[in-house]
Amino acid sequence: MSYDEFIICGSVAFDEIMDFPSYFVKHLNPDMLHQINVSFVVDRLEKQLGGTATNIAYGTRLLTSKKISVLSAIGKDGHEFKSFFKKNKIMTNLLSVDNRMYTATGKVITDKSDNQIWGYYHGALEQAANIDITKHLKAGTLVILSATAKSAFISHLDQLATKDIDFIFDPGMTLTWISRKTLIKGINACKYLIGNDYEIESIKKTTQVNINDLLTKGVCIITTLGNRGVRYQSKELTIEVPGFIVTDPVDPTGAGDAFRGGFIASLLEKNDVVEALIWGNALASFTIEKYGTVTYRPGHLQLSQRTTKIRNSIKRMI
Q: Where are the domains of the chain?
A: 5-27+41-317
CA distances from 267 to 4, 118, 154, 232, 275 (A): 9, 31, 26, 15, 9
pLDDT of residue 126: 95
pLDDT of residue 318: 61
Q: Which residues make beta-bridge pairs with 223?
A: 195, 231
pLDDT of residue 33: 65
pLDDT by 10-residue block (mean), the chain, 318 residues: 93 92 87 76 91 97 98 97 97 96 93 88 95 94 96 97 96 94 97 96 94 95 95 96 92 92 98 98 96 92 96 82
Domain 5-27+41-317 fold: UDP-N-acetylmuramoyl-L-alanine:D-glutamate ligase (3.40.1190)
pLDDT of residue 32: 66
Give the closest residue to 191 by CA, choosing from 243, 256, 143, 121: 143
Q: What is the identity of the amino acid at 111?
A: D
pLDDT of residue 34: 67
Query: Is the pTM here over 0.85, yes or no?
Result: yes
C-alpha span between 259 and 276 (Å, rounded): 9
C-alpha span between 213 and 211 (Å, rounded): 5
pLDDT of residue 203: 95
Give the closest residue to 293 by CA, choosing from 108, 86, 115: 108
pLDDT of residue 307: 97
Within a 10 A sphere around the Cβ of 158, how many other Cβ atoms?
Answer: 13
pLDDT of residue 38: 82
Strand order in the sheet with 116-121: 44-50, 13-19, 104-110, 116-121
